């Protein structure tokens, strides 16, 4: 009886293709979370230095959110052009 040695290769190729297709979407979530966290932390640091407690934290969080949304729309536009 012959063993089908191409089957594991085909399976790993399908898995690799799936990860390649999902990569941009996974990246979106990381960029959104990172931008909110980093700009929020920067806002907190500015507030600690200047004594303007919630002003720059809130501004940093909103700026991070909008920056993440901007990235989301850019990735979606690029994916639409591809596919």
- pLDDT profile of the chain (83 residues), mean per 10: 59 81 83 94 96 94 95 87 79
Q: What is the pLDDT of residue 58?
A: 97
Query: Full-prediction pTM beyond 0.95?
Result: no
Q: What is the pLDDT of residue 6?
A: 57
How many helices and strands (H and E) does the chain possess?
Answer: 2, 0
Task: Write the burial class of residue 67 (CB in 10 Å: 0-12 exposed, 13-18 middle, 19+ buried).
Answer: middle
The Cα–Cα gap between 60 and 69 comes to 14
CA 61 vs CA 32, 57, 71, 74, 78: distances in Å: 11, 6, 15, 20, 26
């Amino acid at each position: 009886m012959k063993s089908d040695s191409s089957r594991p290769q085909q399976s790993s190729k399908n898995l690799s293709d799936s990860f390649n297709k999902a990569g941009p979407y996974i990246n979106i979530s990381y960029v959104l979370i990172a931008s909110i966290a980093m700009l929020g932390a920067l806002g907190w640091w500015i507030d600690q230095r200047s004594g303007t407690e919630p002003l720059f934290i809130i501004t940093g969080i909103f700026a991070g959110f909008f920056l993440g949304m901007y990235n989301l729309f850019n990735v979606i536009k690029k994916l639409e052009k591809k596919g």
